[in-house]
Amino acid sequence: MITKRIIPCLDVKDGRVVKGVNFQGLSDVNSPVELAEYYTKNGADEMVFYDITASAEGRKLFTEVLTEVASKVFIPLTVGGGINSLEDFDRVLKCGADKVSVNSGAIRNPELIRQAAEKYGNQCVVLSVDAARVDGTYRVFAKGGRENTGMDAVEWIRESVERGAGEVVLNSIDTDGVKQGFDLPMLKAVCEVVDVPVIASGGAGCIQDFVTLFQEIPTVSAGLAASIFHFGEVAIPDLKKELKKNDISVRL
Amino acid sequence: MIRIIDYGVGNLFSLRSSLRAIGIDADYTGNPAEIRKADKLILPGVGAFRDAREALRSTGLDRVVQEEAGKGKPLMGICLGMQMLFDRSYEYGEYEGLGLIPGEIVPMEGRIPKDLPIPHIGWNELMLKQPSPLMKNTANGDYVYFVHSYYAETPAEYVIATTDYGVEMTAAVQKDNVSGCQFHPEKSSEVGLSILKAFCEL
């Protein structure tokens, strides 16, 4: 049976992981390569790297680091951040990314999804959406969640999947950072309208939040989180054991 | 000497890196002479069947691959590369494959339960169907990483492993010197590396 995926997400700036990660045995807590190796050994099913660099110089460092990660870690790697064109897809895919996540770039130019899906296949195009409740509906936010686009999130996701997005990462701004659990109503609304895998993001604070996620919404394919993994609040091996105990299929 | 066939489709970087990790230096090449010189060949591929098939045809590499496989050279297809080993595919139309293994590539849509997402993305268990050199280091229940929306329907005699995604789906195949994995061994961590190693040791 297909397993539910657990995905740690790392923010990278100028080729270094932002906010050092506190694990014993790491000699360099800001090294994307060391962290990728650590997570791979500890049960991560894939990893997401977000490049939050603004400068061209930093971009170059990111691709160098990505190349090194991809030559040492053999699980799927998704890369996002600053993906605005097919050239950007090309740049990260050549360095070993398996999937490319688009967010603001697709909002500015929705056809980017179609073009990328035609060139690299749907499986390569991950739509990442930051959404929040505004007047009772879910709205899409751009620029790292700072700008309300006014677009309806469920409709945007449905359209984007039609254009060729092969996977959706839904990050709820409302639950992000609150650590009280994933945004189940928002995830349900999205899972009802798309048939591609949906990855839940934003809000996980403890192991039970993942158990609840997969029990309440069996069609959700994966759970993504950052700080709770990085700061050791949730260890992935413990998380997976608990999921298994609750009859949720995981790779152990 | 192992060569990865480069016909402009797919992420060859990871494949080469994973082979390097098990001590195999496998360059990619689209040069027919290099392909003919190789002891073993890997045919990768991602994206749509039609485009990949056309890329192989327009470069003339389809004939080279067919001829080399015909001589008994070990050939392994990965993902879309595996799908191309078969007679035909029904992805966005009907397209001829390389015809090295009998069978066809059919869509999951309409064949699997409606509540399962398509594509089939993620780690799933292998069920071994018969002993094979490719899976000599692999156990029943080992997890590998899949990404696909179509799968191979082929006579049971060629199926060496399946996986359960609502229906029992072909995961790995072998007919004499020609083999293939629907999943990505180069993205399947230790289990995947052990399968690549087994191929290299053929």
Domains in chain A (CATH in brackets) are 5-245 (3.20.20.70)
Listed by number, the residues of chain A in 173-232 with a beta carbon closer than 8 Å to a beta carbon of chain B are: 195-198, 218-219, 221-222
| Closest residue on chain B to A217 (Cα) | B115
User: Does pTM top 0.90 for this prediction?
Assistant: yes
Closest by CA to A154, choosing from A144, A164, A168, is: A168
Does residue B172 register a pLDDT over 60?
A: yes
| pLDDT value at residue A53 | 83
Q: Does the CB of B25 have a partner CB in chain A at under 8 Å?
A: no
Residues 6+ apart with CB under 8 A from B31: none
| pLDDT value at residue B158 | 98
Assigned token pair, A5: 């995926």
* Whether A203 contacts A181, CB under 8 Å: yes
Cα dihedral B131→B19→B186→A234 (10° resolution):
110
Is B79 known to be catalytic?
A: yes
Instruction: Name the residue with higher pLDDT: B102 or A178.
Output: B102
Question: How big is the A-B interface in CB pairs under 8 Å?
Answer: 100
For B102-144, write each residue's pLDDT tens digit.
Answer: 999 999 999 999 999 999 999 999 999 999 999 999 999 999 9
Does residue A202 register a pLDDT over 80?
A: yes
For A150-177, write each residue's pLDDT tens digit.
Answer: 999 999 999 999 999 999 999 999 999 8
pLDDT band of B12, cuts 50, 70, 90: confident
For B56-74, write each residue's pLDDT tens digit.
Answer: 999 999 999 999 999 999 9
Instruction: Name the residue with higher pLDDT: B181 or B49.
Output: B181
Contacts of residue B54 in chain A, CB cutoff 8 Å?
none
| Closest residue on chain A to B166 (Cα) | A1
Q: Does the CB of A121 have a partner CB in chain B at under 8 Å?
A: yes
| pLDDT value at residue A21 | 63
| pLDDT value at residue A58 | 82
B91, B120, B186, B200: the active-site residue? B186
Is A88 known to be catalytic?
A: no
Q: What is the average pLDDT across B175-201? A: 97
List chain B domain ranges: 2-200
Contacts of residue A127 in chain B, CB cutoff 8 Å?
none
Q: Does the CB of B143 have a partner CB in chain A at under 8 Å?
A: yes
Is B120 known to be catalytic?
A: no
Q: What is the average pLDDT across B150-167? A: 98
Q: What integer best gives the mean pLDDT of chain B?
A: 95
Q: Can you tell me the ipTM of this complex? A: 0.93
Which H or E run includes B28?
A: strand B28-29
Does residue B188 register a pLDDT over 80?
A: yes
| pLDDT value at residue A224 | 97
Fold of B2-200: Rossmann fold (3.40.50)
**CA–CA separation, B193 vs B144, rounded Å?**
10
Q: Do A95 and B186 touch (CB under 8 A)?
A: no
Burial label for B155, CB within 10 Å (0-12, 13-18, 19+), is: exposed
* Whether B126 contacts B140, CB under 8 Å: yes
For A61-103, write each residue's pLDDT tens digit.
Answer: 999 999 999 999 999 999 999 999 999 998 999 888 999 999 9
pLDDT band of A145, cuts 50, 70, 90: confident
Q: Does the CB of A129 have a partner CB in chain B at under 8 Å?
A: no
Burial label for B59, CB within 10 Å (0-12, 13-18, 19+), is: middle
Q: Does the CB of A68 have a partner CB in chain B at under 8 Å?
A: no
| Closest residue on chain B to A70 (Cα) | B14
Q: What is the average pLDDT across A22-49? A: 86
Q: Do A198 and B117 touch (CB under 8 A)?
A: yes
Of all residues in chain B, the percent with pLDDT exceeding 90 is 90
Contacts of residue A70 in chain B, CB cutoff 8 Å?
13-14, 17
